[in-house]
Amino acid sequence: MTATRQTRTLHGARMSYVEACPDATRGGEDPEVVVLVHGIAGSAETWTPVLQSFERTGCDRLLLAAELLGHGESAGVGGDYSLGAYANGLRDLLAVLGHRRVTVVGHSLGGGVAMQFAYQFPEMCSRLVLVSSGGLGRGVSPLLRLASLPGSEWVLPALASSGLLGLGAHALRAAAAVPALTAHSVSLRETARHAASLTERAHLDAFVDTVRAVIGPGGQRVSGTDRLYLTEGLPTMVVWGDRDPVIPVGHARRAETLMPHARLELFEKAGHFPHCDEPDRFSGLLTEFCDRNAPADLDVTSLGPRVAARGA
C-alpha cells in the first residue's frame, strides 16, 4: 500500500490530496472513507507519519489527506479562506470523487473546518475527530495573534523576501536535532515545515487571509462551542497533546463536556501535533474508534427540532 498524490480541478482551480490504503476500494462496494484535514500553513505532509503507520499495520478504510485552498499543492491565488469556504471545498472534492459519507479528522484549523463540514453537511459526515482543534475557545498562540494585526500583509512578505522566514525555519530544524530538545523535536520539525511553506507568496497570502478570518488580537474569533450539542448522534473523538503550546488543552476538556458522548484522548507529553508525536497510537485509536462506532445517519431535517428546542 503506497500513498499517492492526486489532483482534481474544482471550479477551475486545482485541489490536491494524498490517497492511502487503496486496497479498501476493492470488492466493488463503496469503501469507508476517512478524510484528514491539516492545519493553517500545513499540508497533507503533516499526516505522513499516520499514513505510514496505516501502511505498516494495514487499513480497511480509504484515507484521503486533503490540501485546503492555498495550502500544499492546492491552487490558491486569492479567494475565500473562511471556514465555510474550506468546508465547501471538501464537499466539492468528495462529490467529484463520488464519496457520499466520510469520517472527518481535522487538526488545528482543520478541526474548525471539520466541525463546519459536519454542521453544513450533516448527511455527509459519518464520524468526527478533532485533533488539537481550533474553534473551541479564545486561547491561541501569541504569534498567531500577531499575524492577525494590521500590516502583517506587508511585514510577513518582507520577512520572507529578506530570507528571515527561511532562516527561522532552518533554526527550528536545527533545534529539533539538539539532544536537550528531544522531547520537542517532532513539534519543532512540524513547525519548521509550516514556517518554510510561508516562503511561497501564494501560501503566505492564504495564511494571512485565513488567520484574519478566524483569529484577532484577542484570540480566536470563531467558535463552534454554541453548536456542539448538535454532535449528538455523531460519533465524536477529541485528541490533544497535554503540552500543546498553540491551543490550550483546556479547550479539549471543555469540548468534552459540551459534546454529548464525546470521547477524549490526551497524549501525555505531546505538543500541538499529537498525531506526529505518536502516529502508531493515533492510527490505532482512529481504527478502534471507527470500528466501535457505526457511521452516523443524520441530515438537516434531523437537526431542525434540536436547533428550535435550544432557543425555546
pTM reported for the whole predicted model: 0.95
Amino acid, single-letter form, for residue 13: A
Which residues are tagged catalytic? 108, 244, 272
Mean pLDDT by 10 residues, the chain (312 residues): 87 93 68 95 96 89 95 82 95 95 97 96 96 96 93 88 87 85 86 91 92 94 91 96 95 93 94 96 96 91 82 64
Residues 159, 163, 166, 171, CA torsion sign:
negative
User: Cell 484522548 sits at which residue?
Assistant: 265
Spacing of C-alpha 107 from chain mean position: 3
Phi-psi region of 67 (alpha: psi -120 to 50; beta: other; left: phi over 0): beta
For residue 109, what pLDDT is reported? 97
For residue 104, what pLDDT is reported? 98
Beta bridge pairs of residue 266:
240
For residue 178, what pLDDT is reported? 85
What's the domain range around 8? Answer: 4-139+222-297
Backbone angles phi, psi at 4, to 5 degrees: -130, 145
Distance CA 17, CA 67 (A): 6
Q: For residue 107, give the nearest of 301, 294, 270, 302 by alpha carbon.
A: 270
Q: How far apart are the first and last CA of the chain?
A: 52
Backbone angles phi, psi at 308, to 5 degrees: -65, -40
Query: Considering just the CA atoms, what is the radius of gyration of the chain in Å?
Result: 19
Residue 28 belongs to a domain: yes
Residues 149, 153, 154, 155, CA torsion sign:
positive
Distance CA 89, CA 95 (A): 10
Residue 205 belongs to a domain: no
Number of domains in the chain: 1
Residue 172 belongs to a domain: no
Distance CA 139, CA 142 (A): 9
Distance CA 101, CA 69 (A): 21
* CB count in 10 Å sphere of residue 172: 19
Residue 125 belongs to a domain: yes
Q: For residue 186, give the nearest of 107, 256, 279 by alpha carbon.
A: 279
Residue 157 CB partners (closer than 8 Å, separation 6+): 201, 204
Residue 9 belongs to a domain: yes
Distance CA 82, CA 97 (A): 23
Residue 197 belongs to a domain: no
What is the strand order of the sheet 125-131 is part of?
4-10, 13-20, 62-66, 33-37, 102-107, 125-131, 236-241, 263-267
Residue 29 belongs to a domain: yes
Domain CATH for 111: 3.40.50.1820
Residue spans of beta strands (DSSP E) within the chain:
4-10, 13-20, 33-37, 62-66, 102-107, 125-131, 215-216, 219-220, 236-241, 263-267
For residue 28, what pLDDT is reported? 56
Residue 292 belongs to a domain: yes
Residues 266, 267, 272, 274, CA torsion sign:
negative
Amino acid, single-letter form, for residue 218: G
Cα angle for residues 300, 235, 109 (degrees, 5° grid): 80
